Chains A and B, each alone.
Chain A
Amino acid sequence: MPNIHDAMWEKLNLDLEAHAGLLEVLGKFYGDIYMSQQGRLKGMEYLDFVLSEVHGLRIKELQDAKASGKKVVGTFCVFVPEEIVLAAGGIQVGLCAGAEIGKGEAEKVLPRNTCALIKSFVGFKLAKLCPFIESCDLIVGETTCDGKKKAYEIFSEYSPVYVMEIPQMKNASDRQLWKSELLRFKSQVEETTGNKITADSLKDAIHLLNNRRRVLQRLNRLRAADPGPISGRDALLINQISFYDDPVRFTTKIGELCDELDERVKSGTGIAPEGTTRLMLSGCPMAVPNWKLPYVIESSGAIIVGEESCIGTRNTRDLVDEGGRTLDDMLDSIVDRYMRIDCACFTPNTERLDNIVNMALDLNVKGVIHYGLSFCQPYAMEAFKVEKALTGAGIPMLSIETDYSMEDVEQLKTRVEAFIEMTR
């Protein structure tokens, strides 16, 4: 069926037929998992709209911005400092993908035992399915794990990729490395955008992105209520959309949604009855449309009240200090903020264990479900430590390893249901 955006997609060199297939599957999947929910917030209509137009109107906005001289920077990791891109007048978008659709193409250039997230972004590129990738003037990779590191070498044969070196430890020398990487990135972004970053523009960018983090923190505080005022799926979707949407509009809209949540919490209205089993997710990020496990969990009679993940608290927990006056002060504040990220690519990474246990206790969850993508070694390794730390605090954990395919849904259901029974 012809789409109003076909001409734009054709210009972006997408495979129109395959792309139409993707949108159809996505629409159906979204209908089953999201639109079927009862008692959703009115504010979610905005998210429904953004998602339905994620490859449409949002791409059109990016194209219009590009026509007016703005540049688009695509990223795959919460380590890439968006403050720099915004301060240079650019637009940053997340490129991580959560669908299996380009897997066949990806496996032509990647080993089969590569994690689904990597296969997915490579597959989307090779199968010509992602208008975001095709809108980018600069794509930024990073050296978090070996899989991504090597995948960017392959990806760079198809798109221009700039790679940031992420430290793997947190010593003084690592901070120095990160500072120099930040400065190198700043020069690159200034060159790409043609705009010099100033103390004023950086100050504004820091403030704007802190506000986006603040509104997501507020969402997390509000959803912690019992009865839960919003489903975990919806909260995850909000976090996912934060990577694509215009940050100013997003912050305003989610602020309004939080006001609505506030009302619900005050009146004790929930999307599930009070006392519903509260669980928390921890581990690998879930990119759109990877809603499989949240759906399995919430259709088994539990509610997810938090995500310890890059598409979750790892991205929103820490703010950049806003006290800096000079450009250099601010850059240092950015360095410090990003060095606090507790990604499993670090060694040691004990902060993550403390953060998980504290979050689980604060949220008063009955258990934690650790989600690892198959072949994601850093998170698979840490799962053992996380379980030990949680068990020590009296919180049971279920470790799930899966990918984007649907073939294990029934097995997952049995495990998740049994875990919920166990925590009762």
Chain B
Amino acid sequence: MKSRSKDQTVAGIDIGSRSIELVVLNADGILRQLKTPTTFDPLGQCRRLMGELEGGRVIATGYGRKLFAESFGQMDVSTITEIQAYALGARFLHPEARTVLDIGGQDTKVISLSETGKVFKFEMNDRCAAGTGKFLEFMATALQVPLESFGEYALRSDRRIAISSMCTVFAESEATSLMARGERPENIAMGLHMAIVQRTIAMLRRVGVSAPVVFAGGVAHNPCVVRLLEEQLGQPVIVPGNPDMVGALGAAICGKNGF
């Protein structure tokens, strides 16, 4: 077989509940990165994303990793968990990272890394989606604010009110009754952000927070969540340039280096 190490590519694909990300690496670094919604046809979306990508190793992660490995049997596919993928991705971008927080569409992960970058403890949220990206999406819709600007919107609040319910359904009725009492929607949005951060902080404390903290996943785009996290932790958190690509990047790194 002819050696083509120079053009040899390794792809990482992260099939999450809300979106699918693909990162392709070659010897020089990141060749390509793409993102698409998961929809009800995750495999079709994967196929479109993989496009003309031919040959090379693929490492799949995310909740759809097994499905992907079974369906793309003709390729050289292996799988790793999101925990490992996020740890590797975060560590690649920020080699000094000691704690990784990922808030995705359906789950929240907190990963504690050793000095050498090995995962030594992790926590994930329970079976329900309280406190995840889905919660914010649901609440943004309830308040008729586009999800992309929900964080900015909440930062325009002038008063901090506590929303005590963490359940997506109950939090909505709490928000509705606040609205009925004439509370400004920005303040309600802030209260909802505070609720999600509170829950995240509790998870972070369970694994222990060592600085620096890298915050990845789609929710890291939300400036209000970032601000509240920094306030509560009393330290800055690092948000990578493309926070939702960290899992796919980590998977690709794994394919390149093994672990």
Contacts and interface: CB of A to CB of B under 8 A. Distances in A.
Contact of B122 (A408, A411, A418, A424): A418
Contacts of B80: 421
A243 to B, nearest CB: 30
B119 interface: yes
B241 to A, nearest CB: 25
B244 interface: no
Contacts of A414: 63, 81-83, 124
A417 B62 CA distance: 12
Contact of B83 (A396, A410, A422): A422
Contacts of B118: 422
Given A408-B127, A411-B124, A411-B127, A418 B63 contact: no
Contacts of A396: 120-121
A411 B122 CA distance: 13
A175 interface: no
A417 B84 CA distance: 9
B118 to A, nearest CB: 8
A387 to B, nearest CB: 9
A411 B81 CA distance: 11
Contacts of B121: 396
Give the contact-size bracket for chain A.
Answer: 10 to 19
Contacts of A417: 81
Contacts of B84: 418, 421-422
B153 to A, nearest CB: 31
Contacts, number: 35
A17 interface: no
Interface in B72-118: 80-84, 107, 118
B81 A421 contact: yes
A418 B127 contact: no
A221 interface: no
Contacts of B124: 411, 414-415
Contacts of B122: 418, 422
Nearest to B122: A418
Nearest to B107: A411
Contacts of B126: 411
Contacts of A410: 63
A415 B84 CA distance: 11
Nearest to A397: B121
A407 interface: yes
A118 B114 CA distance: 41
Contacts of A408: 127
A414 B79 CA distance: 11
B48 to A, nearest CB: 24
A418 B120 contact: no
Interface string A390-418: 00000010000000000110110011011
